[in-house]
Amino acid sequence: MVENLTVQLGDRSYVIRFAADLPHEIGVEVKRLTAAGRRCVVVTDTNVQAARPEMLKDTFPQVPLLAIEPGEETKSLAGLGRIYDFLAAQKLDRATMLFAVGGGVIGDLAGFAAATWLRGIEFCQVPTTLLAMVDSSVGGKTGINLRAGKNLVGAFHQPRGVFISTQVLTTLPPRQFAAGVAEVIKYGLLADEELFAQLDHRPLTVRSPELADVIRRCCALKAGIVEADERETAADGGRALLNLGHTFGHAIENAAGYGEYLHGEAVAIGLCAAARLSLKLGYVEPEAVARIERVIAAHALPTRLRTALGFQALEDAMARDKKVRAGGRRFVILKRLGEAATEANVPSKPVEETFREVGAY
């Protein structure tokens, strides 16, 4: 049985399709496109290619495919160039549909390639990690990392469809699954206290009977936020709330070197930091911080840095962050469990103290 959720964005609206096993559904879409005279291509990574060769073969028969190395290091100008060279070799036109099959790196990278190839072609997201399913495949943010910072080059380019199959998570390494749970915890903290309480009561695993429902719940939350503030232009709140834990997390990824921490691991530490900053600003009690760290640790995620990074490197990374507005940093803080808000021009001292507490130096 296939369930649908529509992201309502006018002429850019699209459907997220949920099912335990979706290769047939995707195959039907490929046949429909081909019958209409449209070319299809697939961009994936070598991990997916090794773990799911039959899925790729059965779902995309005779469709040109590029498999690139996994990891944040690939989400770069060099990785983007590889996709451009692949698309050029196929002699594609503007009617082409690109399928991004993989985790958040593939979705962001291939999505940005689609946004810019021939000034824009359509693409579909086929997320294969929990993180991509609940977060990065929905909302149309695409981009690459630079040495200066994460996702500094990118575009808003909504997919034409998202295909989510929980069945592909059975071959996901435990560390990758845990990284995805960090984003699930984020959604609970910013807008769904009941979801957070559920995670506190029983850690989410790939075998949890509620997994499919949790994924749909997170997608529905993100869809609602994106529909209200697609391009993150709201003066307060809006789509920026999705960055809870990410201002700290992105700085950690940049200062540590992309690949040292999985994105979800850096976000997990960032959530602990956001909770501690919220405490310092007088919004939450120490008990809330302890509860957040307990839930994060229960899902095999870090609450502190493994090695010190130094505050200046983290400060420099935050200064280059795209969430800086009018020269001032904006953090997403917690008003309480299940409610977040944006906070502008936070003083450096509580930020520095927060980084010290999560082991930055």
Annotation marks residue 250 as catalytic: yes
Of 222, 276, 280, 330, the active-site residue reads 222
| Number of other residues whose CB lies within 10 A of the CB of residue 113 | 26
Contact 65, 42 (CB under 8 A): yes
Whole-angstrom distance, CA of residue 107 vs CA of residue 123? 10
Rounded Cα gap, residues 184 and 206, in angstroms: 13
Among 145, 151, 243, 254, which one carries the catalytic annotation? Answer: 243
Q: Is 222 labeled as catalytic in the residue annotation?
A: yes
Q: How far is CA 64 from CA 39, 80, 259, in A?
A: 9, 17, 28
Query: Which member of 17, 52, 75, 141 is catalytic?
Result: 141
Q: Which one of 150, 216, 217, 246 is the catalytic residue?
A: 246
Selected catalytic residue, list 29, 122, 230, 232: 232
195, 183, 262, 356 alpha-carbon torsion, rounded to 10°? -80
Judge whether 243 counts as a catalytic residue.
yes
Which distant-in-sequence residues (6+ apart) come within 8 Å of 85 by Cβ? Answer: none
Q: Which of 239, 280, 299, 330 is catalytic?
A: 239
CA 328, 331, 334, 340 dihedral sign is positive
How many H-runs (helices) and E-runs (strands) does the chain carry?
Answer: 14, 11
Please indicate whether residue 186 is annotated as part of the active site. no
Selecting among 119, 201, 207, 349, the annotated active-site residue is 119
Amino acid at 140: G
Which of 250, 235, 203 is CA-nearest to residue 104? Answer: 250
Buried b (16+ CB within 10 A) or exposed e, 46-74: ebbbebbeebbeebbeebebbbbebebeb
Active-site pick, 183, 230, 265, 293: 183
Residue of 290, 303, 332, 304 lying closest to 200 (CA atoms): 290
3 state DSSP class of 71: coil
Place of tokens 């991509």: 132
Pairing status of strand 3-7 against strand 14-19: antiparallel
Rounded to an integer, what distance in angstroms lies between the CA atom of residue 150 and that of residue 282?
Answer: 30
At residue 85, the 3 state secondary structure works out as helix
- Bridge partners, 153 (sequence order): 144
157 is catalytic: no
Tell me whether residue 246 is one of the annotated catalytic residues: yes
DSSP state of 240: G
Give the separation between CA 187 and CA 295, rounded to whole angstroms.
13
Query: Known catalytic residue: 194?
Result: no
Q: Which residues are catalytic?
A: 119, 141, 183, 222, 232, 239, 243, 246, 250, 263
